[in-house]
Structure 1
Amino acid sequence: MGKVEVKDLLDAGVHFGHLTRKWDPNMAPYIYMERNGIHIINLYKTAAKIEETSQALHKIAASGKKILFVATKKQAKDIVAEKAGAVNMPYITERWPGGMLTNFVTIRKAVKKMAAIDRMKKDGTFNSLSKKERLQVDRQRAKLEKNLGSISDMTRLPGALFVVDIKREHIAIKEAQKLNIPIFAMVDTNSDPRQVDYLIPSNDDASKSIDKILSLVTSAINDGLTERKSEKAGNKKPETPKAEAKVAPVEAAATQEEE
């Protein structure tokens, strides 16, 4: 991932915070100044935080764990679906299903139900149902798809959460905290940064700003996935015959000491 340019962040309007009266005092270290009653975010701090966040997300992706993206606000939904989808990460953009993390087993059951309906359609069982039953099944499938479609591949709890607007997604934040799942988030001047593990102080309302930040973090995730792929490919080297693999005990001790 290349260096984060402050100018790019400025062009995307990442620096516009909320009205000063709506601020959360815990965001003070990330605020540069006040202009026309609005807090302006210090973009040098934002750039540093993006780099820190990106490194951590890179590691999580390289370890093979999933990062669940959460953004249900109108201006973030499509961007998140597109960016997270592009790097094969699960996302919630409709409504946070209560218990999504704390009651993961139940959520998995709903996802399995979706898969079962798909099987019925494939093997012809679906066609043997009455018209009314087919309609009910279709409706159920559509509802499940809307709420859980993007997480159908998530067979275990995510390694991290990435949230846009922690005030709005407070239920998701609480569940992740309960389970000690690391939380990454775009945090605006009206939110409490202490609720997350990795924050990116930024404008979480404008689609241009959301797009910019998400492009940067998903690019880091993509690098992590690429690294994982090449490591996997590298591990498939032919094994060395056992006899060659043995190092004389004295040499082995010496090399260990050098390390």
Structure 2
Amino acid sequence: MMLKKVCNIRSACILSMRKLSTDVQPALLNNDVKQQKNPLDYPDYFQVHNIFTVKDLFNARVHYGHKEGSLNDNMRPYLYGSRLGHLIFDLNITAEHLRKALNFTAHIAYRGGIICFFNRNSLNAHIVEKTAKECGEYAHTRFWRGGIFTNANYQFGAVTRLPDLCIFLNTQNNILTQHTAVRDSAKMLIPTIGIVDTNCDPNLITYPVPGNDDTPVAIELYCKLFKEAISRGKAERMKFSQENS
């Protein structure tokens, strides 16, 4: 009788242990999946699509281009039309390109890449420099000396790490000539994001974003959006490090 009672208790313990293991195992598996989640498997892992709307672009005057006579033929696919002699961007196309650029920026920040902002418009230089400082990244808003990327080791007298991403808030040195760093980045295979106005050439830009590159309110919006994308990427990187430490 005593032996039968012990066997029953043992059987009950085994059943309860099996039930416990089946309950815990899915949780452990789910935890492993969560820790091993790869951002590259998701089209918008950092949810950058909800940072802005087309109305935000319109309110920031992103749709305003230059006069018709200054149009670069490569910018025709991004246009909605013209009004009173000034070209108008299609903001639906701009929003699509901008979201791709923000997503790429967040991935670079997530992987600990170096990001450098560029701007040659003295009116907006302070905004760009302030944004880069707040992001913990870098900015260059002065004259660009040729060879900084293509001959960096000689220029700085040491082995130099180049940026992992260059963000151009405007891609022109002036109305007629392109920023030299756009060409240098292409030569060194550095990915680039560029706000390209109607007088710009988007061919050498990895992620061209058609839009106004002059108006301060538009530049402020771009800076705000890129700052948020970088912040989201770095926050996810920190979260991943804490979970795996």
**TM-score class, shorter:** 0.7 to 0.9
- Report if aligned partners of 2:120, 2:172 keep a CA contact under 8 Å in 1: no
- Report if aligned partners of 1:76, 1:164 keep a CA contact under 8 Å in 2: no
| Whole-Å separation in 2 of the counterparts to 1:36 and 1:205 | 19
Secondary structure at the counterpart of residue 147 of structure 2: coil
2:72 is matched with 24
Unaligned 5+ residue runs, structure 1?
113-154, 237-259
| Whole-Å separation in 2 of the counterparts to 1:77 and 1:167 | 14
| Whole-Å separation in 1 of the counterparts to 2:84 and 2:152 | 46
- Counterpart check, 1:220 vs 2:209: no
- Report if aligned partners of 1:50, 1:217 keep a CA contact under 8 Å in 2: no
Match of 2:91 among 19, 32, 43: 43
- Counterpart check, 1:231 vs 2:218: no
| Whole-Å separation in 2 of the counterparts to 1:194 and 1:188 | 13
Match of 2:146 among 76, 98, 115: 98
Percent identity for Structure 1 against Structure 2? 32
Q: Can you list the C-alpha shifts for 1:235-256, whole angstroms capped at 9, x where unaligned?
A: 21xxxxxxxxxxxxxxxxxxxx
Match of 1:160 among 157, 160, 165: 165
Counterpart code for 1:57: T
2:204 is matched with 195
Counterpart code for 2:184: E
Counterpart code for 1:171: T
Q: How many residues align?
A: 193
Counterpart code for 2:129: A
Counterpart code for 1:228: R
- By relative contact order (CA 8 Å, sep 6+), the higher-ranking structure is 1
Unaligned 5+ residue runs, structure 2?
1-47
Q: Can you list the C-alpha shifts for 1:118-139, whole angstroms capped at 9, x where unaligned?
A: xxxxxxxxxxxxxxxxxxxxxx
- Report if aligned partners of 2:51, 2:225 keep a CA contact under 8 Å in 1: no
Alignment of structure 1 residues 220-259 onto 2, 5 Å: 220-236=229-245
| Larger displacement relative to structure 2 (53-62 or 71-80) | 71-80
Instruction: Compare CA radii of gyration and give the structure with the larger one.
Output: 2
The CA deviation at 1:75 is: 2.0
The CA deviation at 1:233 is: 1.6
Q: Which consecutive segments of 4 or more residues in structure 1 shift more than 4 A?
A: none
| Whole-Å separation in 1 of the counterparts to 2:130 and 2:65 | 25
Q: Please report the TM-score for the alignment, with normalisation by the length of structure 1.
A: 0.71
The CA deviation at 1:199 is: 1.1
Q: Which has the higher helix share?
A: 1
1:64 is matched with 112
